[in-house]
């Protein structure tokens, strides 16, 4: 008997796309003007999010880590953790949704790369303690990493 | 296992017979820091089952021959 598995790392919210649910966030005291809004994200690891933001070289003027205000390609973005554990990215109303999505995709792309890197190193570090040995590894053209593990 | 650039992972056991492979679901989850969201049996599963059916038929035929003999 052999089995196949599809897995999602805990750092990624299962069932949420790169750009998730849209939500208008008009402030109670805001009488007019375009309403700020938010997109659900699949990112839920604060450390990795902060590293992703740093890696793509964006500014973080508020200095509040992942939940502070950040500017990605000129798009101001602030993050807040939702009840589900994943972050929500909030944008001012004057920022077009396409612009916001592009900025979010840029952060998510780097975040995903860091998740892949973390999983890869974790497997290498912990294989032995789980009774496994790394037999081979290769990187595919789509940047997937193929690891073959042998049961010792 | 395949660790994709989007962070998702696909893992597959090979050459394991019986429920042994199922015990590796938890091992893979621990190893990768991930949760299984889907699972399936690979073609190898059905090959093993097919061979088992043939073996059962063969055993049954042998049993019948002994009874008739």
Mean pLDDT of chain A: 86
In a domain, A14, yes or no: no
Closest-CA residue in chain B for A147?
A: B1
- Of residues B30, B33, B3, B8, the one with CA closest to residue A15: B8
Q: Are A2 and B15 in contact (CB under 8 A)?
A: yes
Q: Does residue A27 fall inside a structural domain?
A: yes
Q: Is there a domain that residue A2 lies in?
A: no
Tell me the residue range of the domain where A65 lies: 22-151
Out of A1, A9, A113, the one facing B32 most closely (by C-beta) is A9
B39 touches chain A (CB under 8 A): yes
Average pLDDT for A13-18: 83
Q: Is B34 near chain A, with CB under 8 Å?
A: yes
Confidence (pLDDT) at A34: 84
B7/A contact by beta carbon, under 8 A: yes
- Residues in chain B with CB shorter than 8 Å from the CB of A10 are 33-35
pTM: 0.80
Please indicate if any CB of chain A lies within 8 Å of the CB of B2. Answer: yes
Question: Per-residue pLDDT tens for A31-88?
Answer: 677 888 999 999 999 899 888 888 887 655 444 555 566 778 788 888 888 888 899 9
Distance from CA of B67 to the nearest CA of A (A): 33
Looking at the 3D structure of chain A, how many domains does it have? Answer: 1
User: What is the CB neighbour count within 10 angstroms for residue A127?
Assistant: 18
- The predicted complex's ipTM stands at 0.83
Chain B residues with CB under 8 Å of A107 CB are: none
Would A47 be classed as within a structural domain? Answer: yes
State how far the Cα of B54 lies from the Cα of A122, in Å rounded to an integer. 43
Q: What is the pLDDT of residues B6-62, one digit of tens each?
A: 999 999 988 776 677 777 888 999 999 999 999 888 776 666 555 555 555 555 554
Mutate to test the interface with B, among A4, A42, A135 (most CBs of B within 10 A): A4
Among A51, A64, A27, CA closest to A116:
A51
């Amino acid at each position: 008997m052999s089995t196949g598995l599809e897995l999602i790392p805990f750092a990624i919210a299962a069932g949420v796309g790169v750009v998730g649910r849209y939500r208008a966030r008009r402030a109670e005291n805001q009488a007019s003007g375009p309403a700020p809004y938010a997109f659900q994200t699949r990112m839920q690891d604060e450390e990795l999010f902060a590293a992703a933001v740093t890696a793509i070289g964006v500014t973080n003027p508020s200095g509040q880590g992942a939940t502070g205000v950040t500017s990605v390609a000129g798009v101001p973005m602030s993050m807040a953790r939702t009840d589900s554990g994943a972050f929500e990215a909030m944008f001012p109303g004057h920022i077009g949704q396409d612009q916001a999505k592009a900025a979010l995709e840029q952060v998510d792309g780097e975040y995903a790369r860091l998740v892949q890197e973390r999983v890869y190193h974790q497997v290498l570090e912990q294989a032995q303690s789980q009774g496994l040995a790394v037999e081979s590894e290769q990187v595919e053209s789509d940047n997937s990493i193929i690891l073959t593990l042998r049961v010792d | 296992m395949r660790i994709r650039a989007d962070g998702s992972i696909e893992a597959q056991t090979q050459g394991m017979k019986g429920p042994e492979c199922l015990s590796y679901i938890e091992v893979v989850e621990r190893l990768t820091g991930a949760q299984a969201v889907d699972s399936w049996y690979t073609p190898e599963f059905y090959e093993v089952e097919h061979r088992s059916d043939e073996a059962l038929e063969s055993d049954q035929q042998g049993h019948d021959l002994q009874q008739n003999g």
